[in-house]
Chains A and B, each alone.
Chain A
């Protein structure tokens, strides 16, 4: 017995490592570490830094050190009528753009879905998706040239049919509509893509049953397509809403927020105050508010999405 105990070798480091990895919690934790490190360095720390800065009065041009003001920056923002105007302009832009893109995307998606045997469908789809893959700066420059009152093709076309030239981006009445149209042109393909994905998630048997049950087009859309595809469609709407809320580069490139402030969305205002006026504390507070608004959008989306599940669980038995 003693001999057996004496000759038993201690487990090697490889055996011990293998045993450690076999424990249920160790390997998943190890695999998560790189993602967590990345997330903390590039996401959590800047957010915390931003949050901290929002409580300070800090301007890069004053030369004075940051001074703690508590909720002073937030109070100043809430009392600033320009912020409220920019916010209302942004909401108008978001709801108009996302609304038009959703309706157009849904219609175009249904058209493409219904024309699966049509020759040239793939080419048409590729062309449709082109605007989506352009960088906003390139798209902005491209459209600025199209809208140009002297050399632009749009005005040339207007003149060609006997209409006067319009300074689309320089006129306060038309500038907002002009940039909105470019956003719709650029992002409707995204909603087409989401619609096609939503349609692909509808079980074929249900569509066939709807055909056999002689359901009308609207009944099919309501009872079958939207029922199955609503998650993907709502996800598309959410992503577009958050993205439209952040729109900056496209409009900045086309109008710089003008004429006056007619196209100055809140993201452009934030950029200007941070990198033209260098009011870092004030801009950080505004960024925190925008972050909270984005979180509110996401929370609403999740609530709407799970509302039906909750209702079905509440069905009396």
Chain B
């Protein structure tokens, strides 16, 4: 299969455009996460791919074939829902086998596949149990097992970890990653589309992340690029916890812009200063004792986060910004510090969109 192609796809409910006109390609065998805040249209987009929602306009191509008008059962897709969807009168094994029976998989191959997914999803202990005897996390693993056993060209995950507790969530993610690495050898690589609003999950699982906002795909890139070089201020703000720091630029000399966190001014791209903002991730802000170079600043507040890391709210010039520190370094509120931001880790935005930084700009810094 050569992937899924969306051509001018759109879905409207009355005057509300859940998904605006979108052109996009999900490459064959890739894991793409649709990430975005609630109500951004990611689930609607996935449901259109599954055949559960009819697009208002546009075409959906599977392997070059137009499947827009096809019902879900005719498309070669499997899906895992937000709530574990099970056939409650059947056992775990029967649930997995049912999908294979209906896909008319030969008996010997069926057995092999069932054993493989039961093994990879760690369901050996409960294979003969009824669904009512399982906790919600295990049920979701059964749902995933049922989906991957079918060996469809496309597997869709609609926020499968939203309703399960943390331990079960990690177990599920681990099992999913194991499936990707182990079953890749025996089963044809499947195109996976994974809808989530959990950025950590997206960063962990995806080959590519399509960041959605207001019914449109704002950016699609590999997790590292999306994190380090977001195309928009929205991407910088939405991804990361806390999101990127944004500092407004001010004119320093003709054609040059200064930012409070940098000791020197930069050549303003295009000579224009209006609407320029600098973005830098909190963990890329280096905080040291006062007088160690960089720019002078002051700690306004300190918060301890998971793992004993400290999050500092800093006052730098007329701006405030956050810095993430390792557990060992402690600065108290009110303490004077010096702040360093490497030019390699800063991103410039004009009116919310990222500017490509020229070597001249970086050297000038």
In the complex, chain B residues 77-126 whose Cβ is within 8 Å of any chain A Cβ:
77-79, 81-83, 85, 87-90, 98-99, 102-103
* Cβ–Cβ contact B103 & A205, under 8 A: no
> B146 at the A/B interface (Cβ < 8 Å)?
yes
* CA A214 to CA B100, docked complex, whole Å: 10
Q: For residue B235, give the distance in angstroms from its CB to the closest CB of chain A.
A: 31
Question: Are A317 and B133 in contact, with the CB atoms below 8 A?
Answer: yes
Nearest Cβ distance between residue B159 and chain A, in whole angstroms?
12
A315 to B128, CA, bound (A): 9
Number of A-B residue pairs with CB-CB distance less than 8 Å in the complex they form:
61
- The reply on B50 being an interface residue by CB < 8 A is yes
The verdict on A227 contacting B129 (CB below 8 Å), with A208-B52, A212-B73 known, is no
Is residue B37 within 8 Å, beta carbon to beta carbon, of the partner chain? no
A216 to B, closest residue via Cβ: B102
Chain B contacts for A205, CB-based, 8 A: 81-83, 85
Give the residue name and chain of the B residue nearest to A206 (CB): B85
Closest to A228 in B: B88
CB distance from B130 to the nearest CB of A (A): 5
Distance A315 CA – B131 CA, assembled complex (angstroms): 10
CA distance A317 to B71 in the complex (A): 39
B132 interfacial by beta-carbon distance below 8 Å: yes
Contact, CB under 8 Å: A214 / B71: no
Assess whether B102 is in contact with A212, with CB atoms less than 8 Å apart. no
Contact B98 A211 (CB under 8 A): no
Q: Which residues of B contact A315 (CB under 8 A)?
A: 129-130, 132-133
CB pair A208 B72 closer than 8 Å = yes
Complex alpha-carbon distance, A132 and B78, angstroms: 44
Write the chain A residue with the least CB distance to B133. Answer: A315
CB neighbors of B among A190-211 (8 A)? 203, 205-206, 208-209, 211
On chain A, which size bracket covers the interface? 20 to 34
Question: Contacts A223-B87, A227-B88 given: A212-B133 contact, CB under 8 Å?
Answer: no
B32 CB to nearest A CB, Å: 19
A312 contacts the other chain (Cβ, under 8 Å)?
yes
Does A213 make an interface contact (CB < 8 A)?
Answer: yes
Does A224 belong to the interface (CB within 8 Å)?
Answer: yes
- Size class of the B contact interface (CB-based, 8 Å): 20 to 34
Which residues 8-65 in B have Cβ within 8 Å of A in the complex?
50-52
CB proximity to B under 8 Å, residues A158-216: 203, 205-206, 208-209, 211-216
Indicate if the CB atoms of A223 and B90 lie closer than 8 Å.
yes
B208 CB to nearest A CB, Å: 24
Asked if A212 meets B132 with Cβ closer than 8 Å, knowing A206-B85, A224-B87, the reply is no
Which chain A residue shows the least CB distance to B50? A212
CB distance from A208 to the nearest CB of B (A): 5
Do residues B130 and A312 form an inter-chain contact, with CB atoms below 8 A?
yes
* Among A215, A227, A316, contact of B102 (Cβ-Cβ < 8 Å): A215
A211 vs B102: C-alpha distance when bound (angstroms): 11
What are the residues of chain B within 8 A of A224 when measuring CB–CB? 87
As a 0/1 sequence over residues 300 to 317 of chain A, the CB contacts with chain B under 8 angstroms (1 = contact) are 000000000000100111
Judging by beta carbons under 8 Å apart, are A213 and B52 in contact? no
For B130, the chain A residues whose CB sits under 8 A away are 312, 315
Among residues 202 to 261 in chain A, which have CB atoms less than 8 Å away from a CB atom of chain B?
Answer: 203, 205-206, 208-209, 211-216, 219, 222-224, 227
Known: A205-B82, A315-B129, A317-B129. A212 touches B77 (CB 8 A): yes
Chain B residues closer than 8 Å to A223, beta-carbon distance: 87, 89-90, 98
Q: How far is the CA of A211 from the CA of B52 in the complex (A)?
A: 9
Among B71, B85, B88, B103, the most chain A Cβ lie within 10 Å of the Cβ of B85
Chain A interface residues toward B at CB < 8 A: 203, 205-206, 208-209, 211-216, 219, 222-224, 227, 312, 315-317
28 contacts between A and B (CB under 8 A): A203-B85, A206-B85, A208-B52, A208-B72, A208-B79, A209-B81, A211-B52, A211-B71, A211-B72, A211-B73, A212-B50, A212-B73, A213-B98, A213-B99, A213-B150, A214-B73, A214-B99, A214-B102, A214-B103, A215-B98, A219-B98, A222-B89, A223-B87, A223-B98, A227-B88, A227-B89, A312-B130, A312-B133
Which 4 A-B pairs rank lowest in CB-CB distance, beginning with the nearest? A312-B132, A209-B85, A214-B102, A315-B133
> Which residues of B line the A interface, CB within 8 A?
50-52, 71-73, 77-79, 81-83, 85, 87-90, 98-99, 102-103, 129-130, 132-133, 146, 150
Given contacts A212-B50, A213-B98, A227-B88, 12 further A-B contacts (CB under 8 A): A208-B52, A208-B79, A208-B81, A209-B81, A211-B73, A213-B78, A215-B102, A216-B102, A219-B98, A219-B102, A312-B130, A315-B132
